[in-house]
Amino acid sequence: MPCHLNLSHDEKMLTPPVLYWIYLTTDGTDNPRVWIPSEKYEGRVDTLDNNPNTSNKSIRFKNVQWADSGRYLCKLSINTKRDKSFRKKGNETLLMVYDTMTFNPTGHNDSLLSCEVNVTRDPGLVLSIFHDGFKLQPVGSAPGKGGTALPFVTLSETVSPRSKGEYECQLHLNKDLLTKSIFRYNLPDGGDAEKNVSLTSPTTVSEPNVKLFPEPWFLYTALLLVPFVILLGLISATLMCRCLSTYGFN
């Protein structure tokens, strides 16, 4: 979470600034301290720069949980020679959490492609599926299903793939792309759904479903035999020429 101190050149700090990070509650209760950590954040927050005189007061948040989503604010208590003691507020940082996205065929004979992801509650989070760059109209969707007691909601989109090509599921926060998952779809041969084989990648912005095709071993063998056939033909031609010369044929 970014927090940088900017002071003019004529302001000289008398003591190192004291950093406070707080969680902005929505119900007006006391703001729990993120740094210096209160019990809720103990062992999960570190400063990026441990030098007390540095202007970088950013923190690193570890082991993020669903309940951690929300708005955070950094504050600095500063004591300068010119303005004495005062406090400065930084910009708010919005922390949003989303789970690993799944994007797989579903239904009989892989007739549907379904994308699903758990996210924190925010109306700006939108899930969409594209085919070769064009947004598809879903046959089924859930804009935010989930119980009110849960700290997250489930977004899902389902489309019916009509042709081969690259299908891409994207999670946006307003206009910003957060994560995506790509599936390269090939129509099943003879309705055999087992021919749809996928690979899963552990990366955040991943391509978890990639079609596999059998290795063309016959083609490889044929390509390897071509040089030997040509070489054998050259040797045969050379031997024939020598035989003709030996028996006096021009």
DSSP assignment string, 18-78: EEEEEEE-SSS-PPPEEETT-GGGTTTEEES---TT-SB--EEE-S--GGG-EEEEEEEEE
Give the mean pLDDT of 195-222: 40
The strand order across the sheet containing 140-145 reads: 102-106, 112-119, 153-159, 140-145
Q: Among positive and negative, which fits the CA dihedral 23, 67, 27, 142? A: positive
Q: How does pLDDT run across 162-194, given as a tens digit for each residue?
A: 788 889 999 998 889 999 999 988 765 544 443
Nearest Cα neighbor of 5 from 119, 97, 86 is 86
> Which one, of 120, 85, 103, 236, lies nearest residue 170 by Cα?
103
Q: Which two tokens stand for residue 45?
A: 């927050």
Cis peptide before 182 (omega within 30 of 0): no
Domains of the chain: 18-95 (2.60.40.10), 102-209 (2.60.40.10)
DSSP letter assigned to residue 98: B
The Cα–Cα gap between 116 and 121 comes to 15
- pLDDT recorded at residue 194: 38
pLDDT of residue 205: 34
In this predicted model, what pLDDT tens digit does every residue of 4-36 receive, in sequence order? 887 777 777 778 777 788 888 877 677 888 888
Residue 122: both structure tokens together: 């925010």
> 129 exposed, middle or buried (CB, 10 Å; 0-12, 13-18, 19+)?
buried
Contact 145, 133 (CB under 8 A): no
pLDDT tens figures, 214-243? 444 454 455 556 666 677 777 777 777 766
User: Residue 153's CB: how many other CB atoms inside 10 A?
Assistant: 19
Quickly tell me which residue has 């570890």 as its tokens.
Answer: 62
Please report, for the chain, how many H helices and E strands are present, in that order.
Answer: 1, 16
- Which tens digit of pLDDT belongs to each residue from 44-99? 999 888 887 777 888 898 999 898 888 899 888 887 777 777 777 888 888 889 98
